[in-house]
């Protein structure tokens, strides 16, 4: 189950072209019998994910939960302690339900200062270490920090284009694959 925001919910993309849909296709190609539930919502914050996770865990009973939340917290300048607490609570809830957990980190522009952006970026690793969860440090590696990031983003400069989705999956896959035992 992917619990994410617009980066995982195919914002601005044709249905079935986002990285989560590409993950489902890769699992089928590799003959790995996993069902993918995309529980992502555009605009979701960690507080929203925290409020929804218990019901999602009960409904879908996932064996693996990939948490891709926190970017909207950062874009809104929300207090980092709340973001950290929400990520910890979601990871703990997923583990308590018997799921393996993966945290996908994100970086935001320094709109609220460099120290805020750096602290947000670092808290994904802190949460992963605290909960012994798998960590993808930066979901958009090679997209946002690649040689031509302008070409890979929609006009809003926040949401990757369809052309970037395979790269995002390539970032996710090496961290996710070991969890698919």
pLDDT at position 53: 98
pLDDT digit string, tens, across residues 161-171: 999 999 999 99
Question: If you average pLDDT over residues 23-35, what whole number do you get?
Answer: 97
Question: If you average pLDDT over residues 129-147, what whole number do you get?
Answer: 96
Residue 150 predicted with pLDDT over 90: no
Average pLDDT, whole number, for the chain?
Answer: 97
Question: If you average pLDDT over residues 60-79, what whole number do you get?
Answer: 98
Count of residues for the chain?
Answer: 181
Domain boundaries, the chain: 2-179
pTM (predicted TM-score): 0.97
Q: Band of the pLDDT at 129, cuts 50, 70, 90?
A: very high
Q: Band of the pLDDT at 20, cuts 50, 70, 90?
A: very high
Question: 2-179: what CATH class?
Answer: alpha beta
Question: What separation in angstroms does the CA of 133 have from each of 5, 91, 112, 178?
Answer: 19, 8, 28, 12
pLDDT at position 56: 98
Residue 62 predicted with pLDDT over 90: yes
Question: If you average pLDDT over residues 132-136, what whole number do you get?
Answer: 98
Question: What separation in angstroms does the CA of 29 have from each of 6, 24, 26, 158, 164?
Answer: 26, 9, 5, 30, 20
Q: Would you name the residues annotated as active-site residues?
A: 6, 156, 159
């Amino acid at each position: 189950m992917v619990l994410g925001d617009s980066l995982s919910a195919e914002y601005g993309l044709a249905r079935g072209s986002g990285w989560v849909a590409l993950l489902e296709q890769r699992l089928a190609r590799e003959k790995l019998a996993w069902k993918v539930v995309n529980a992502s919502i555009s605009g979701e914050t960690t507080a929203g994910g925290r409020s929804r996770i218990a019901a999602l865990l009960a409904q879908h009973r996932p064996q693996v939960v990939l948490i891709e939340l926190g970017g909207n917290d950062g874009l809104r300048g929300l207090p980092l302690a709340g973001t950290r607490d929400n990520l910890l609570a979601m990871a703990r809830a997923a583990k308590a339900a018997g799921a393996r957990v993966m945290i996908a980190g994100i970086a935001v522009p320094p709109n609220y200062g460099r120290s805020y952006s750096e602290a947000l970026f670092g808290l994904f690793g802190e949460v992963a270490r605290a909960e012994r969860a798998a960590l993808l440090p930066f979901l958009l590696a090679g997209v946002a920090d690649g040689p031509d990031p302008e070409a890979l983003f929609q006009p809003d400069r926040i949401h990757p284009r369809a052309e970037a989705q395979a790269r995002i999956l390539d970032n996710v896959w090496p961290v996710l694959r070991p969890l698919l035992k």
